[in-house]
Amino acid sequence: MSVLDKIVATKREEIAAAKLATPADELRRAAERAPAPRDFFAALAQERPRDGGPIKLIAEVKKASPSAGLIREDFDPIEIARTYEAHGASCVSILTDEPYFQGKLEYLRDARAAIGIPALRKDFILDEYQLLEARSVGADAVLLIAECLTPSELKDLHDAAVALGMTPLVELYEPENLDAVLESGARLIGVNNRDLRTFEVDLGHTLRMRERVPADRLLVGESGVKTHDDVRRLADAGVDAILVGESLTREADIGAAVDRLMGR
Ligand SMILES: O=P(O)(O)OC[C@@H](O)[C@@H](O)c1c[nH]c2ccccc12
């Protein structure tokens, strides 16, 4: 069983328990009362690198991961999100999975309330219920992973996220899942450079996909981005945005790390 399979199995149990604790109707009402969504897509769509604009940063608030273990001991999600915003991130991504990433939905609610830029719920979304959870704590975007969903589930969750006013970031690792991703209607497509089965990282994954993603969709390079050189390679290839966690969250001075990474 791969790590991804294990995470998905745990997540199904978690969702079943959450539905018993808080019925979907109750969550739907909470989602309606949540602060209005911020436009995650628009934050990334202006002045694209292909038109000479800068590559955009989606900076991730990440305490731990199955591949790295504990990344940051003194973890203050609000402080980290504020630092990301102050240093020019276009959006933030906040891990909410608890068992494998030591995240929390509350981290998203609290961090988003402390900043003015859009926030993504980074989790393993398998059920519409989790979209309501996301929106109820203020999420502006959600991650959907092609490797965890059938093509029809992907499309249904994509449409349900849009109906709730959120931007779906639809991620793939396997090139053969691109058709399902494109057919889901995703305008924001992420290519994960990390194989969630072996944890191997290869930036070439995103680079090789650039040609195959139509120009009217935004492309995000995810995972394993460490140096300004990496960022330049992706920007030169016309990649619109990068999603970076570990190499920022690990640093004592996160603001300085963002500046270095982005070459500012
Ligand atoms: O910490 P990194 O290597 O910079 O990666 C960030 C992000 O891409 C990564 O956390 C991620 C991408 N897709 C995921 C899916 C699930 C969990 C985590 C992820």
From first to last of its 264 residues, the chain has per-residue pLDDT tens of 788 999 999 999 999 999 999 999 999 999 999 999 999 999 999 999 999 999 999 999 999 999 999 999 999 999 999 999 999 999 999 999 999 999 999 999 999 999 999 999 999 999 999 999 999 999 999 999 999 999 999 999 999 999 999 999 999 999 999 999 999 999 999 999 998 778 889 999 999 999 999 999 999 999 999 999 999 999 999 999 999 999 999 999 999 999 999 998
Catalytic residues: 60, 62, 122, 171, 192, 222-223
Cα–Cα distance, 173 to 190 (Å, whole number): 9
Q: Domain boundaries in the chain?
A: 3-262
Out of 2, 189, 192, give the residue to mutate to test ligand 1, the one with the largest number of ligand atoms within 8 Å of its CB: 192
CA 43 to chain centre: 14
Asked if this assembly's ipTM is beyond 0.95, the reply is yes
For residue 220, give the H/E element and its range. Answer: strand 218-222
Q: Which fold has domain 3-262?
A: TIM Barrel (3.20.20)
Residue 195 near ligand 1, beta carbon < 6 Å: no
Residue 67 near ligand 1, beta carbon < 6 Å: no
Looking up tokens 């940051």 gives 72
- Position 228 scores a pLDDT of 98
How many angstroms separate the alpha carbon of residue 81 from the centre of ligand 1?
16
Residue 72 near ligand 1, beta carbon < 6 Å: no
pTM, 2 dp = 0.98
The secondary structure of residue 99, as a DSSP letter, is T
